[in-house]
Amino acid sequence: MTTRFWIGETVRARFVFTDPDTGGTVTPSGVVVRARKPNGMIVSYAASVSGNTAIADIPTDVAGDWWVRATATSPSPAAEEVMFTVVQTNII
């Protein structure tokens, strides 16, 4: 995943859930995606799940480092995290 985006872009975050013991794929359910914006605000986003992958589209409106976490309640509690940086454009 590209980790640097311009402010105003929508970032598509993908989270892949696997069994920690076998490395095999698992289909998560009860997926919740939350992001901590650079200003400290925590925001929830809708996620779509296909197979072992959850996807969330995250519109960016604040420059800085964004931390995004997807959690699943089943088949066992699990979490995946990604981080990306949003930069302010000097043009617009």
Give residues with Cβ within 8 angstroms of 51, minimum separation 6: 25, 27
Q: What one-character-per-residue DSSP string does 27-72 give?
A: --BS-EEEEE-TTS-EEEE--EEETTEEEEEEE--S-EEEEEEEEE
* Structural domain harbouring 19: 4-87
Looking at every residue in the chain, the average pLDDT score rounds to 91
| pLDDT over threshold 70, residue 30 | yes
| pLDDT over threshold 60, residue 1 | no
CATH of the domain at 70: 2.60.40.1930
- Kindly state whether residue 92 falls inside one of the protein's structural domains: no
Q: For residues 89 and 17, what is the distance between their CA atoms, to the nearest angstrom? A: 34
At residue 79 the predicted structure's pLDDT band, cuts being 50, 70 and 90, is confident
Token pair belonging to 81: 């995290």
pLDDT digits (tens, 9 = 90+) for 42-77: 999 999 999 999 999 999 999 999 999 999 988 878
- Name the domain count of the chain: 1
Q: What's the predicted TM-score (pTM) here? A: 0.85
